Chain A
Amino acid sequence: MISEQAKQRMRELAARYPVARSAVMPALYIAQAEEGYVSRAALEAVAEVLNMTVDDVESVATFYTMYYQRPPGKKVIKVCNSISCYLRGCDALIEQLERRLRIKRGETSPDGRYTLLTVECLASCGTAPVLQVNDEFVENLTPELVDRLVDQWEAEFQAEGQSQGRSPAGAGGC
């Protein structure tokens, strides 16, 4: 469900352009923020507000990798694999993340904690290799740094699980 407030924000955005459909990208972001990904309801809401067809919106939503087609994990990890990061060893880091998170690139872990994506240049070539966790940059990656990051995320989830008085799914028995 896309809330009425979200639709209202889309309408306001649309009003800024001579042609309503120019607002399709920000509108998709608003919809994505509501549900975490671009759902069918999101497509319909954007189509309705901007007077487009659902198919037309789908075409835009699938063109850009930063609109999610499925619900993503709580932490979305985007690792740059463009040229600078590649030359500075991103391939090994991506494989390391795949091992530690037990998912392949492009996948979301079954417990819903992580989504691992590879992306094109994040415009941070000077500090390559880089990744983003939920849009926050982590720069100058090394294998050690990646291990520390994963430990830190696991600890966060652990703490979160305890504070809610139940153990996180998949961490059976501890």
Chain B
Amino acid sequence: MAEEAKNDGLVHLTIDGIPVAVPPGTLVWAAAKQAGIEIPIYCYHPKMPPLGACRMCFVEIEKMPKPPQTACTTPVSEGMVVHTKTEKVLKARRGTLEFLLINHPLDCPICDKGGECDLQDFTLRHGPGATRFDLRKRHYPKPIPVSDRVLLDRERCILCQRCTRFCSEISMDNGLVMINRGYRMEVGTAPGQAFDSIFSGNTVEICPVGALTSAKYRFKARPWELKRIPSVCNNCSVGCNVRIDVRVDKIMRQMSRCNDDIDDGWLCDRGRWDFDYVNDAQRLRTPLVRRQPGGVLEPAGWGEALGMIAERLRTIKERYGASAIGGIGSTRTTNEEAYLFQKLLREALGTPNVDHHHGFFPGLRDPLTERPWMLTTAIADFERASHIVLVASDPYERQPILNLRIKKALKAGARIYVVNESPTELDRLATRVIRLPQHGAGAAARLLLEAALRQENLRNPSEEVRTRVLGTPQETRQAEALCGAETTAALRELAREIAAAPAALILYDEMATLAPGCANLAPDLQALAVITGNIDRPGAGVGPLFEDANSLGARDMGLLPDSLPGYRPASPAGLSYQEMLTSDAVKALYIMGANPARHLADGNLRRGKEFIVVQEILLTESAQQADVVLPALSYAEKDGSMTNVDHHVQAIRRALRPLPGARADWEILMDLAALLGHPWSYEGPEDVLLEIAAQHPLYQGLTWEGLGLQGVRTGEVEVAHA
């Protein structure tokens, strides 16, 4: 028995008489948690290395000198006997709490944290009921803003250093630091410096007391009044898991709902706080129609608005043919809605013109791997990369939480290379920064690929790539001329590193492919990863960093002129986004959840168009030019699935009562299909998902229930089935 126990690779101990087996290196605190025993902590946070500052987590360990010990800093060892409830432990915890409360202002009635505060809760469970301190407490002006978005109340602070260690260990920007020492110690910034990190909200969330509060949520609600709904952030392609906290049909705040594979427990400030558009008083609450050409948009009933759309589209189709109709879909609506949108356009209206605003990728699939254009690695595997090469991409600005994953990789030993036109936040931590000229990313990719091709012992040489690149030396010379000698040399050196790297990860921004001279950015970087064998190995990979919450889902669902759902070729192929906007042959535009007016130099959508429909949340530049505007629902008011940048298919859930008068995009599409003579019989998004699963290899077997709380990553399924 004892022999057997020793062979399972685990460490065996007992905690309060309960036997526990955990991997070596586990901390006593975590082992106790596994055994269902709560040990109170302040300074320790499971995503950060232990510190041992607060002395709250005391336990008694037999045969160890000087009891009690701190459970958060002590790793388990074989045969350890731990007690968490002895008189010595209880007394020590009482002592710690009594000290913490000496200067604490006890202003719980007006503290945002009241009701979810570890100081309240642990005092209730472990503290002394009274204090022996009857002198004057220390006072500070309260609160002081440390940025526009975060306020600090130094009287409430228990100096646990969670916030400052988040800034040094996780975001690595040292936005908040400990100032002074001893009894003068306080949290702060350098004089005159704001705590302006894009990750600042995490410190508010992990502060165990009410010392750090968010300007947005201050005095807005008591925690026990909030309804908490698990969902997914809608603000970028990372798809961080959030909990939407709602009070009386308004979003009060969004908190992290840790998904180790995606967000690792963090949110960026955009995700946490940029939800005003959902609560916006200007939200569209009724359809608007333009009854006379050139007239004004006037409120109308749903019946009139949908009837008008059906009739006008039918007329245009009769007069000019179906291909005079174009559909522009969204990168922020659900997969189900994107799917129904293209189905409405292709099947009910019979037009091949379906697209959305996206980066430029030649063809449906990368010709070398036959895979659809997407990141070939999981976010969590970034940590296993030896080299991370960021070409024309700045996750800090565009996919913020990926920046934290890259920093985690950096701590694990990865080298970071930034190849970019302008400075980025990661430059400071990069092994090498290669500065590009304007629109130089395409040239840089070309030079990297060309230099890699000249390496000996390429892991995966490709004749096809060799002929394409080495056969067009004039393009290489142009790239050299654009980049200049110094940058060219730096890129060649980087190519050599990539070719020899144990696991290089090459990332580029989806939208960088649209810059002049960057049409080959995606295929060149993809080829670079393939020939250097940096694909399909843990930590290695290549791929675009998409822009929006469902950018990848939009592609998957066939919101592309040349692709049906599942990357089946569409024939004939339809017109592209730009073509639909500029071609006179397109007389009617149906726009769902997009604002293409932003992508036209003069913002004028109407050129050559007879009829424009826009489904939207707010009266955007595009909606203002429409003939019919249909009020839609936000991500917080409906159910559905979204596909993030590393192909996690995740559920968003209805958190609010839908805005009266507005309807979900999928409901609108169903009604319109029925009016056009195509009655669909879906009961809801879950039925649509089943239909998608039946025809899309990357969604095979998915069901609404199966998505669960953390989604399902299906990026590699297709390959496995192929």
Contacts and interface: CB of A to CB of B under 8 A. Distances in A.
Interface of A: 40, 43, 51-59, 62-63
Nearest to B187: A59
A59 B193 contact: no
A59 B191 contact: no
A55 B174 contact: yes
Interface in B166-201: 168, 173-181, 188-193
A11 to B, nearest CB: 17
Contacts of A57: 190
B428 A58 contact: no
Contact of B180 (A40, A53, A63): A63
Nearest to B178: A59
Most buried by B among A52, A53, A57: A53
A40 B192 contact: yes
A55 B428 contact: no
A59 B180 CA distance: 7
Contact of A40 (B176, B178, B179, B191): B191
25 contacts: A40-B192, A43-B190, A52-B174, A53-B174, A53-B175, A54-B193, A55-B174, A55-B175, A55-B176, A55-B189, A56-B168, A56-B174, A57-B190, A58-B177, A58-B190, A58-B191, A58-B193, A59-B174, A59-B177, A59-B178, A62-B179, A62-B181, A63-B178, A63-B180, A63-B181
Contacts of A40: 190-192
Given A51-B428, A52-B174, A53-B173, A58 B179 contact: yes
Contacts of A52: 174
B227 to A, nearest CB: 37
For chain B, what secondary structure do more than half of its interface residues adopt (helix, strand, loop), or is it mixed? loop
Given A53-B174, A57-B190, 20 more contacts: A40-B191, A40-B192, A53-B173, A53-B175, A54-B190, A54-B193, A55-B174, A55-B175, A55-B176, A55-B189, A56-B168, A56-B174, A58-B179, A58-B189, A58-B191, A58-B193, A59-B164, A59-B174, A63-B180, A63-B181
A54 B195 CA distance: 11
B177 A55 contact: yes
A20 B448 CA distance: 30
Given A40-B192, A43-B190, A56 B428 contact: no
A54 B175 CA distance: 9
Looking at chain A's contact residues, is the secondary structure mostly helix, strand, loop, or mixed?
Answer: helix
A21 to B, nearest CB: 10
Contacts of B192: 40
Contacts of B176: 55
Nearest to A64: B181
Interface string B410-445: 000000000000000000100000000000000000
B428 A59 contact: no
Nearest to A53: B174
Contacts of A56: 168, 174, 177
A4 B159 CA distance: 38
Interface string B626-653: 0000000000000000000000000000
Interface of B: 164, 168, 173-181, 188-193, 428
Contacts of B177: 55-56, 58-59
Nearest to A60: B177
A59 B195 CA distance: 14
Contact of B179 (A51, A54, A59): A59
A54 B192 CA distance: 10
B278 to A, nearest CB: 34
Contacts of A63: 178, 180-181
| A-B pairs with lowest CB-CB distance, top 4 | A59-B177, A58-B190, A56-B174, A54-B190
A148 to B, nearest CB: 34
Contacts of B179: 58-59, 62
Nearest to B172: A53
A43 B191 CA distance: 10
Contacts of A62: 179-181
B429 to A, nearest CB: 9
Interface centre among A40, A57, A59, A62 (most CB of B within 10 A): A59
Nearest to B181: A63
A52 B164 CA distance: 15
Contacts of A59: 164, 174, 177-179
Most chain B CB neighbours (cut-off 10 Å) among A40, A52, A54: A54
A51 B189 CA distance: 17
Contacts of B164: 59
Give the residue among B173, B174, B181, B189 with the most A Cβ atoms within 10 A.
Answer: B174
A69 to B, nearest CB: 9
Contacts of B190: 40, 43, 54-55, 57-58
B179 to A, nearest CB: 5
Contacts of B168: 56
A54 B173 CA distance: 10
A40 B189 CA distance: 12
A56 B189 CA distance: 8
A56 to B, nearest CB: 4
A56 B172 CA distance: 10
Nearest to B180: A62
A65 to B, nearest CB: 9
Nearest to B427: A51
A22 B428 CA distance: 16
Contacts of A54: 190, 193
A29 B190 CA distance: 18
A159 B192 CA distance: 41
A57 B168 CA distance: 12
A82 to B, nearest CB: 14
A62 B189 CA distance: 11
A109 B190 CA distance: 26
Contacts of B193: 54-55, 58
B432 to A, nearest CB: 14
A43 B189 CA distance: 12
Nearest to A43: B190
Contacts of A58: 177, 179, 188-191, 193
With a 10 A CB-CB cut-off, give which of A51, A55, A57, A62 has the most chain B CB atoms.
A55
Nearest to B194: A55
A40 B190 CA distance: 9
Contacts of B181: 62-63
Nearest to B175: A55
A54 B164 CA distance: 14
B165 to A, nearest CB: 12
B15 to A, nearest CB: 37
Nearest to A47: B190
A48 to B, nearest CB: 11
Contacts of A55: 174-177, 189-190, 193
Contacts of A43: 190
A43 B188 CA distance: 15
A54 B190 CA distance: 6
Nearest to A40: B191
A166 B379 CA distance: 72
A52 B174 CA distance: 9
B181 to A, nearest CB: 5
Contacts of B188: 58
A55 B164 CA distance: 11
A91 to B, nearest CB: 19
A51 B173 CA distance: 11
A106 to B, nearest CB: 11
A28 to B, nearest CB: 13
A70 to B, nearest CB: 11
A46 to B, nearest CB: 11
A51 B191 CA distance: 19
